Amino acid sequence: MDIVSLIAAKANYWTYVILLMVGLYAMVAKNNLVKKIVGMVIFQTAVILFYVSIGYKKGGTLPIIMHGHDHGHGVDSFIKAADYINPLPHVLMLTAIVVGVATLGVALALAIKVYQEYGTLEEDEIRKQIELKG
């Protein structure tokens, strides 16, 4: 396999792995809680990208049956699965995006609570304050 076709075949996975690493790094190494949340969102986006990209089929169109609106009268009697891209990852990610936004809301609410309690979002300062209290 030469290098161009290798890149064409695997570039989607590499993109997703790089985004995954960026997000994971932000979650692990950043000190600021909002930056950690941003990392979490990047991580989520990477997973969504991965799912959507495995749903793609070469030569397939979007997963809506062509001429299907008149209750199937105009459809060819045989619908080939290879003509349509895989709808299942799209369904899963459709709900995952909305749920991701909702959980992002909860994460930001927690960050607001932390800020109200400690007056800062930097992790080391919060830890210092907790140690002083305990």
Partner 1 sequence: MKILGTITILLCGGLLIFFTSDFPDFGDPKSPASIHLSPYFIEHTLEDTAVPNIVTSVLADYRSYDTMFETTVILTAGLACFLLLRIPTKEVTRRYYLHEPTGVTLRFDGDRYPKGSNVFKRIDSNWVPYDIIINFTCRLLIHFIQIFALYVVAHGHYSPGGGFQGGVVIGASIILFAISSNLRASIKRLGEKAAAIFTATGVFIYAGTGALCMVIGEHFLNYSFLAPLLGTDRIMARSHGIFIVEIGVAVAVMAVMIWIYYNLSSAGKQDEGL
Min CB(92)–partner 1 separation in Å: 8
x/- string (CB under 8 A) for partner 1, residues 36-55? -----------------xxx
Min CB(45)–partner 1 separation in Å: 16
Footprint (CB under 8 A) of partner 1, residues 74-133: 75, 79-82, 84, 86-91, 94-95, 97-99, 101-103, 105-106, 108-110, 112-113, 116
CB contact at 8 A, 50 and 19: no
State yes or no: residue 14 binds partner 1 (CB under 8 A).
yes
Counting other chains too, the contacts that 83-90 makes at CB distance below 8 Å and 24 or more residues apart are: 83/59, 84/57, 84/60, 85/55, 85/56, 85/57, 85/60, 85/61, 86/54, 86/55, 86/56, 86/57, 86/60, 87/55, 87/63, 88/55, 89/51, 89/52, 89/54, 89/55, 90/52, 90/55, 90/63
State yes or no: residue 28 binds partner 1 (CB under 8 A).
yes
CA 109 to chain centre: 21
Min CB(34)–partner 1 separation in Å: 12
Contacts to partner 1 by CB under 8 A: 8-14, 17-18, 20-21, 24-25, 28-29, 53-60, 62-66, 68-69, 71-72, 75, 79-82, 84, 86-91, 94-95, 97-99, 101-103, 105-106, 108-110, 112-113, 116
